[in-house]
Amino acid sequence: MWNRLEEIWPKLLQKFGIETSAGLVNEMDLALLEEIKAKLNREISIDALPALIDAIDGGNQSDTFQNAAIGIDSSAFLRIANHPKGEDLIDYFGATHSCPLILPGQTIQEFWNNELSAVDTVAKTLAGSFDRFNKDLDRLDSDFSDLRNSLQTALDSFRDDHGTVYSEATVRKTLSLLNALQSKARVPFAPRTSFRPLAEQRQMTKTPPGFRDPGDGDFFVWVDFLLGLKQAQSAGEVFDKAILLTNDSKPDWGRPGSTHPILVAEANAIVGVPFETWTLKKFADKVLEV
């Protein structure tokens, strides 16, 4: 048996684009990845029609989460720390939630790239540009108060969402969140090279998630999340639902009250449990009710 495994191991690693020296996968993970890939590529069919019926017939989301595996995408990740009840959410993740907690590797990557590295700089640049623009308007005789107010409202809205990234309070809360997740969360990375052709094919066929965006970030959030769910099941962890927290409002994830039925069908085929997307607001409201 072991001789046979030694013969096929390099071929399996090559198939999934993984270097032998990386030490990041094992035989179990390779089997999980092969199953995920086969179903996402429709080599094994998914039951899409019942999922579509459920999505149309009153929506396919519920209000229960206590026994759910929970994942977090990048659009929700930063906002946990900045949420008015962020400390309660962090406490819930760190001390209360007993089912799998999954932070897709792609979420960490996008968090750093888009939030910590760029967005705060953009907010500061916009504020500086707005100040200079106001000074230029002051040199004119006409009244531009309506324009000023409109631009100020837009700038304030942007700053509320993105402009406090490097504030001391936000850094403290973000580190508290990261420490809670470090002790509890799985951080799965599916191999990018082997899934890249599939990402391109799904983009061409408008298969969710992510077909409304350039690039493959949402797709790899999805694959990482599914891998984390499969790893949790293989480790004997029990959950009866999978929830991904996302503030992405585009229909390639879902619509109000309904998750995209293709994603629901894929999750059911791969993990065997219902799948729902929740906004951070909905999740926070439900956590605070408990």
pLDDT tens-digit profile of 109-153? 888 777 654 444 455 666 667 677 777 767 766 677 777 777 777
Give the model's pLDDT for residue 150: 79
Give the model's pLDDT for residue 22: 35
Q: Is the dihedral of CA 253, 258, 260, 263 positive or negative?
A: positive
Q: Where are the beta strands (DSSP E) in the chain?
A: 68-72, 101-102, 241-245, 254-255, 258-259, 275-278
Beta bridge partners of 244: 71, 277
Give the model's pLDDT for residue 212: 77
CA dist., res. 30 & res. 53, Å (int): 34
Annotated domain spans of the chain: 39-115+168-289, 118-162
Who has greater pLDDT, 32 or 21? 32
Give the model's pLDDT for residue 157: 72
Mean pLDDT of the chain: 82
Phi, psi for 260 (deg, rounded to 5): -55, 125
Given a contact cutoff of 8 angstroms between Cβ atoms, the answer to whether 271 and 230 are in contact is yes
Give the model's pLDDT for residue 46: 95
Tokens linked to 106: 């792609």
